[in-house]
Structure 1
């Protein structure tokens, strides 16, 4: 009994002694000295703001169209007796060239008859004028009215008016007959080309019948869709029309024809002055004079229906600053690094933006170090550690710098933006 009691309490005593010994060791162990963490300024990339001359060109695409494209129709009835050798699909003609001749025998006869009626009416008018003059002299010599005014019938005034009206009607009928005779010869109203020939020799046509389709070649037009940002680059108002004192911007056009790239140079003549409700864009009309002649590219015309790429020359800026797009915070703010390595905010005047860069006209001094790294929660006056992107990733010397992957991505964006 006593042995069992001694064994139990002896074992408990041993555990207590070991516990006290371990507790003493931990109590005698020197405590580590507490140190405040050192806060370091975040490393940021930057680029130097340099001024340069910038021309804000605008790229667009459009289809070449003629200024005038009409249906050629007959104004008189008759059988087609002749057509011009140029009145074929694709045929070229000059202004006032004969295209179609309609049989004119009936119209020549009508004109001759109308001319005869004019002669008869003129003879009757001259005779009535003589009768009226004679009646006035007789009245004055006989003094039949004893000082009273003679009546119109006495002086044959109504008869004279009727004769004059008959003559004018006969003259108008003769003019109409001659006009119909002239209309039997259908002439080109402008220099151009035949898009489609419909009527041919032997075909009978009526007034209003379609004979073909023709288009002018004096001026080619290209409709180019522009955004509001494009208008700002070009410096064009919404309702622009060129004048001698204010010509439109130059347009350089190109297209691939028969495996070769050809170039033409035109100008913006006007804008349509309305915003498309579906696309929210404005249509600018580029023109090229004499596209099949002097305006051609070494004999290659700017053909109608051709789809071209166009580059419109924009406004020049002599002291613009081009920065990577990653330098922009919000709508119009960039940060620079001052001489004491603190952030300074700038409101800038942005003239244009694209996928990789922004172009500003004012708001930043040349030579300033512009931050191109993300600034999470930073504000003006915060201290930073500048790092040139050409010298490596910021924070590479400090393995404790957070988010190195984000810094590497920013460096790639800055390099591609420059």
Structure 2
């Protein structure tokens, strides 16, 4: 029993001795200072420059003039132009349709006969009046007979004028049996055919001009400041004041582009949407098929050229913190918050009109935790905001 106790004590002593040696011989750790973490951020250089403001909108192409083709006389249709079909193209004063003119030719001949008769009666009445005036001077007739002669002369003259007017009207009706195009354009649709009887005043076709087309472009009232269009504008804008408009559309699987002018604003503001209706005009260039105006009814996107504003810094919208704050890096590569003046938010860009100086570095990287004056390393992004 005593021998077992001595062995336990010996083992404990040996273990304690080994532990003391390990503690005494352990390596000592030299104290070291931890270097702070410096984030790497992307920056752009502030470069104030002139920026052309733009306003984006959309609309549907409409014809400049659209009218109904209406006959001024009645009759049977004896001839129709091949161009008087839906989509047909015609020139100004081109014959489109002819009405049976036989009755109108007879009416002209009858009116001419009436004129000849009225001329003969008027000549006789004037001759008779001259004779009565000679007789009254010689006191061979009474005054009442002279008065009857004057009355007969005036009635015959009125009858002659009436016959002449009837002849002119008959000649106009004869001319109206041939319906001519009032302008160059296209046929939208027609409602008549060969041999059909048409009635005066009843539309037979819808046509529209194609020298230029127009498109109504709604603009929010606050965006008018970018175009400098006065609210009191009346009539069309002067050429020097009319902004350029670029229209875009995908048609038939291809992208098309047209250049036009903003020519006027409509007289009222929409009370529901608070939008101002502006009108852009695009001319047809017949000498070049690549520059023809867009077709009627096409839906287009529009970009209106606005004012040219100086000293504008353009940054990505992601660089904006809150409503009007950005992060700026100083010469010691420390990050600070700066309040700026924002002119406009446009797409993915922010136009800044004040608060930044030439050459300052603006942080465009997302930073979750920001401490004013924190140390950073920068990577400069080139050529941002060069419009």
Give the TM-score range, shorter chain.
0.7 to 0.9
User: Counterpart of 2:37?
Assistant: none
Counterpart in 2 of 1:309?
301
Partner of residue 21, structure 2: none
Deviations 1:108-140 (A, max 9, x none): 101110111112112222222233333334434
SS of equivalent residue, structure 1 residue 210: coil
Determine the structure 1 residue equivalent to 2:116: 119
Residue 98 of structure 2 aligns with which residue? 101
Q: Secondary structure at the match of 2:195?
A: coil
Distance 1:247 1:288 in 2: 16
- Normalising by structure 2, what TM-score? 0.73
Residue aligning to 1:6: none
Does structure 2 conserve the Cα–Cα contact (< 8 Å) formed by 1:267 and 1:288?
Answer: yes
RMSD, aligned CA: 3.9
Work out which of the residue numbers 211, 215, 224 in structure 2 matches 1:218.
211
* Alignment match, 1:385: 373
Match of 1:227 in 2: 220
Answer yes or no: is 1:198 the counterpart of 2:195: no
Distance in 2, Cα, partners of 1:122 & 1:312 = 67
Shift of 1:152: 9.9
Structure 1 residues 385 and 256, CA, compared in 2 at 3 Å: closer, same or farther?
same
- After superposition, the C-alpha distances for 1:31-77 in whole angstroms (9 at most, x for unaligned) are xxxxxxxxxxxxx9997643112111222222111111222222211
Q: Is the 8 A contact 1:233 1:351 kept in 2?
A: no
Report SS of the residue matched to 1:201: coil
* Ranges in structure 1 where 5+ consecutive residues have no aligned partner: 1-43, 375-382, 393-415
Query: Using a 3 Å threshold, how does the CA distance of structure 1 residues 181 and 387 change in structure 2: closer, same or farther?
Result: farther
For this pair of structures, how many residues does the alignment match?
337
Structure with greater proportional strand content: 2
The answer to whether residue 195 in structure 2 is matched with residue 207 in structure 1 is no
Compute the displacement of 1:212 (Å). Answer: 1.7
Structure 2 partner of 1:71: 68
1:50 aligned residue: 47
Matched, 1:275 2:269: yes
Q: Are residues 1:319 and 2:311 paired?
A: yes
Within a 5 Å distance, the mapping from 1:333-348 to structure 2 comes to 348=341
Is contact 1:229-1:352 (8 Å) kept?
Answer: no
> How far apart in 2 are the matches of 1:364 and 1:130?
101
Paired position in structure 2 for 1:61: 58
Q: What 5-or-longer segments of structure 2 have no aligned partner?
A: 1-40
Closer, same or farther: CA 388–117 of 1 in aligned 2, 3 Å:
farther
TM-score of the pair, normalised by structure 1: 0.68
The 8 Å contact of residues 339 and 355 in structure 2, kept in 1 or not, is answered as no
Aligned twin of 1:161: 154
Aligned residue for 2:157, secondary structure, equals helix
What's the CA shift for 1:357?
A: 3.8
**Contact 1:197–1:213, Cα closer than 8 Å, also in 2:** yes
How big is the shift at 1:142? 4.7
Equivalent residue, structure 2, for 1:253: 247
- 1:296 offset after TM fit, Å? 4.7
SS in 1 for 2:302: strand
Conserved 8 A contact 1:224-1:284? yes
Match of 2:178 among 185, 200, 216: 185
Deviation at 1:244, TM superposition (A): 4.7
Match of 2:78 among 76, 81, 93: 81
Cα distance in 1 for residues equivalent to 2:98 and 2:215: 35
**Deviation, structure 1 residue 191:** 0.4
Q: Distance in 1 between matches of 2:325 and 2:373?
A: 20
Q: 2:256 matched to which residue of 1? A: 262
